Amino acid sequence: MTLMTVERIKLFSTRSPWWCMIITVALTVGLTAIFSAATKPDDLSDLTPSVTQFAYNFGLVVMMVMAALTVTTEYRFGTIRSTFLAVPGRTQALLAKTAVVAGLAGVVGEITAVGSWAIAKAIRPDAPLALDTGQEFRNVFGVGLIYLLAAVFAIGLALLIRHTAGAIVVMLVYLFLAESLLPAIPRIGPHIQDWMPFIVGNNFVVAGQLETDDGPPVIEGLPFGPWGSLLYFAAVCFGLLALGLISAKRRDA
């Protein structure tokens, strides 16, 4: 608990996490508010709980950048050395950091998801935004779990790369290009894409959603159902974190 308290103090003593949280909430909730206000009265039937989460990936990227920065800035300024000198095991210190940062990301994810749904309901009270099914609850409340696990992924990647620019560039290229361009590879591309972590993780939120819905994109034929997708995504994220922890133990700080 002492390690987690230290990591919490370190996290909130800098401005970047606060800015990242503000940008995440403002971006996702703001875009949903604009979309809801722009929806014509005749199209209110299309404004569903899943549609209110169409912008969650924008906030997800910001929180992943924040998670990566919590690691790379410590390596950049050398403060990680003080941490490793004060704590007998590097793994315990890094796990405490992961718990604090991922927990914060999960909370922010829930705030953005519920906030997006709530503001859409406030702007368009006549829209069909009631949460009546398990799929609709996952559309909204499942977003926080994806944020939490994505932060774990970002920390693992940052431990492997260590440099801020390198970690962020690799992360953004992977998120915006690598997974989405795989179908361009003849024959095997679409099959490989079905196993990509963020494609599968997104399935936890959108499984059961209609393809014609304007919410987060749906990819048919994935190997797992919603909860299997979440477990697979978690396994990949924690696997990358494990590689990062091994790297941190073997390399000089």
Q: pLDDT truncated to tens, each residue of the chain (253 aa)? A: 588 888 888 888 888 899 999 999 999 999 999 999 888 887 788 888 888 998 899 999 999 999 999 999 998 888 888 888 877 788 898 999 999 999 999 999 999 999 999 999 999 888 888 888 888 899 999 999 999 999 999 999 999 999 999 999 999 999 888 888 877 787 787 788 888 899 999 989 887 666 555 556 666 777 888 899 999 999 999 999 999 999 988 877 6
Query: What is the total count of domains within the chain?
Result: 1
State in Å, rounded, how far the first CA of the chain is from the last one. Answer: 24
pTM for the whole thing?
Answer: 0.91
Query: Where in the sequence is the domain holding 152, given as residue range(s)?
Result: 2-250
Long-range contacts from 85-91, C-beta under 8 angstroms, 24+ separation? 87/3, 90/245, 90/248, 90/249, 91/245, 91/248, 91/249
Q: In the structure encoding, which two tokens stand for residue 252, read together? A: 């000089």
